[in-house]
Structure 1
Amino acid sequence: MESFRTISVGSLPAGSSVTFQKSSFFLRNGKHAAFPTPSEILATSVAQTPSNGLFTAAPSTLAFENLGLLVKFGREPVVNIAEGQCLWMIQPAVPGIPVPEIYGWTQEGDLTFLFMELVPGITLKSMWCSLSHSERTQICTELRNMVRDMRRLRQEAGQSFIGTSIELLMKWSVADYLEDSSIAIRSTM
């Protein structure tokens, strides 16, 4: 018999600026640690990748290795608070799905900044071509099982927050994540 977990909108952290003080970011860096400011993030991003203007549809990512921090930022609908809420909710709701820990988020102007765990490792994009057929099949099996587990989530009657409009869905694809060199593999094997 399948078990389903019900998620309530009221249980999700809300607000344009949220910080999870009990996250491992503050345990590791101290309770008075601070995220880089949006201005610092943008300046660092431009310095590292001068052509990385925020005029593309793709999100930008910036690693702060000394803090164990990855910042994903961009404009709606590509980067939004809902992604941070999903990361926050998935770990306790579906513990078998490896997701980076979300430390918080903020918005400034039309930009959203997600502060999350920097997962060390090799990206799937960089190693996909070198994987054997059986290794690729194993990864696909793991992904299928994760999607199955997420499909077991339910929402309270009258609330609609799981899912997205078809227009947004059409703008996203697995290829986008394979293209994102900052998303590292964390195997469940």
Structure 2
Amino acid sequence: MLANPSHHHRNRDVLVTINDPFHALSDSLANLTLTTITTSLPGLPTSQTQSQNKPSKPPPDSHALPTNANPRSDLVTVTPLFPPGDNVIFAHSSFFRRLYNPPTGTPELPTPAQVRDEAARLGLTITAEGSDDDARLVPFPALGLLVKFGPEERALRGNDGASAVGGGVSAAEGKAMMLLGRALPSLLSCAGSGNGLPVPVPQVFGWRRDAGTGERFVYMDMPEGEVLEERWGWMSEAEREGVCTQLRELARAWRRLRFGDVGFVGSVDNGPLQDEVFRGCRMAGALPPGPFPTSAAFHDYFVSMAVTMSQSRQLGARVGQLRYTPHHLFPSDVPVVFTHGALHPRNIIVSAGPNPRIVSILGWEQAGWYPAYWELCKARRECSRRGGRDEWESRYLPVILDVQDLSVEMCGWNVGALCQYWDYFVSLM
């Protein structure tokens, strides 16, 4: 059990000012500079404040490579470019080619109204209030089409009366799948680790926004297979290990992606992070989560928001009334990698029959550029939130995300200790 950090305290005298160091986050990427200043608690000497209840630094991994090891030469730098706008249709995608019928003209994607009607016919209703899983997946088997739709954001109120921002649908998910669809074939081929693996990302046909309701629609190829979460209990150990090996190769591939030559932290389209961890921040009146120029700037925001959200609940104050100057132990030089953000059996589609192969990976709504440890922390969190699959977290995740390889990326930091440190701050939000 980690001790509560000394920065988590009650301080009624600290109010937001016009010079709030996080005000710059609302401007532009060029202005995203945060300064860490250690301040003392009123009435206590500085030395006492800094040492009281301070957690120890996560120890380095004794088996990790030294920090002066040669940089990896297999990294791939990308500069994603995406079409702008809320309504984008890719007329040259396979959906229109395979269904083209000259007598009847070019096929069209279902309209928002048609998608809603089909969802109602199939009994796909909105998740109960209080959940953050608000999107619906509507299949159109005859068209080989899967449509994900729902509000971009929805205000929720939990049983304790606390407000939050529920899960939503955005074009960023479609853009994440587009990026991987283009990059993964080369990544797998260059690494020599593809072993015949298909690109497990649905092809994106377009996205729309219904101006009347504000709902977002993402149109994608419908994968054929079974959800791994439903299949898992019937699989042999050899089949499980086979699927995990495939996942490991795929995760290694997308984690080799780098955004330009900078440590940018944000969504794939250069916007704020879409991670569910931060969904309560906007509803509480906080600044959006990014984008950030470095992992150090991101960590300052992460810690500040966690403590501010916690204190706002305890003091009954608005988030905007509180100010916290970050002081934490997250390493400042963590590499930033492409991250799925919700790697869980419910988002993995495998082929039917014996010796299943990964057909597709869904659930890219939280994907983006995050510190290297984020994928493992979020995958563990998905297990705890969904319940069950303890063996998935304890036995298979360390293989899939290759904890030893992650320790190398983390420049010697102990990954397990860092995940516990991460858990503490997430619990405050």
Which TM-score tier does this pair reach, normalised by the shorter chain? 0.7 to 0.9
Compute the displacement of 1:157 (Å).
4.2
Q: 2:243–2:358: 8 Å Cα contact kept in structure 1?
A: no
Q: Which residue of 1 aligns with 2:126?
A: 53
1:88 aligns with 2:178: yes
Q: Which residue of 1 aligns with 2:238?
A: 134
Inter-partner Cα distance in structure 1 for 2:110 and 2:230: 28
Inter-partner Cα distance in structure 2 for 1:18 and 1:106: 6
RMSD: 2.8
Q: 1:16–1:107: 8 Å Cα contact kept in structure 2?
A: yes
* AA aligned opposite 1:101: Q
1:62 aligns with 2:138: yes
CA gap of 1:41–1:188, structure 2 versus 1, over 3 A, is: closer
- Greater relative contact order structure (CA < 8 Å, 6+ sep): 1
Q: Per-residue displacement from partner, 1:148-176 (whole Å, max 9, x unpaired)? A: 1111111124655457748525786444x
Q: 1:46–1:53: 8 Å Cα contact kept in structure 2?
A: no
Aligned length: 183
Equivalent position SS for 1:143: helix
Q: Per-residue displacement from partner, 1:25-70 (whole Å, max 9, x unpaired)? A: 00111172111111111122112206x0365532211111111101
Inter-partner Cα distance in structure 2 for 1:25 and 1:18: 14
Q: Which moved more, 1:54-63 or 1:149-158?
A: 54-63
TM-score by length of 2: 0.39
* Higher-strand-fraction structure: 1
Q: Which residue of 2 aligns with 1:27?
A: 97
Equivalent position SS for 2:137: strand
Q: 2:77–2:259: 8 Å Cα contact kept in structure 1?
A: yes
* AA aligned opposite 1:48: L
Tell me which of 261, 273, 276 is aligned to 1:168: 276
Percentage of matched positions with identical amino acids: 28
Q: 1:23–1:103: 8 Å Cα contact kept in structure 2?
A: yes
Higher radius of gyration, 1 or 2: 2
Q: Which residue of 2 aligns with 1:105?
A: 207
* AA aligned opposite 2:276: L
CA gap of 1:39–1:12, structure 2 versus 1, over 3 A, is: same
Q: 1:155–1:162: 8 Å Cα contact kept in structure 2?
A: no
Q: Which residue of 2 aligns with 1:151?
A: 255
Compute the displacement of 1:144 (Å).
1.7
Tell me which of 181, 184, 187 is aligned to 2:349: 184
Q: Which residue of 2 aligns with 1:78?
A: 168
Equivalent position SS for 1:136: helix
CA gap of 1:15–1:185, structure 2 versus 1, over 3 A, is: farther
TM-score by length of 1: 0.82
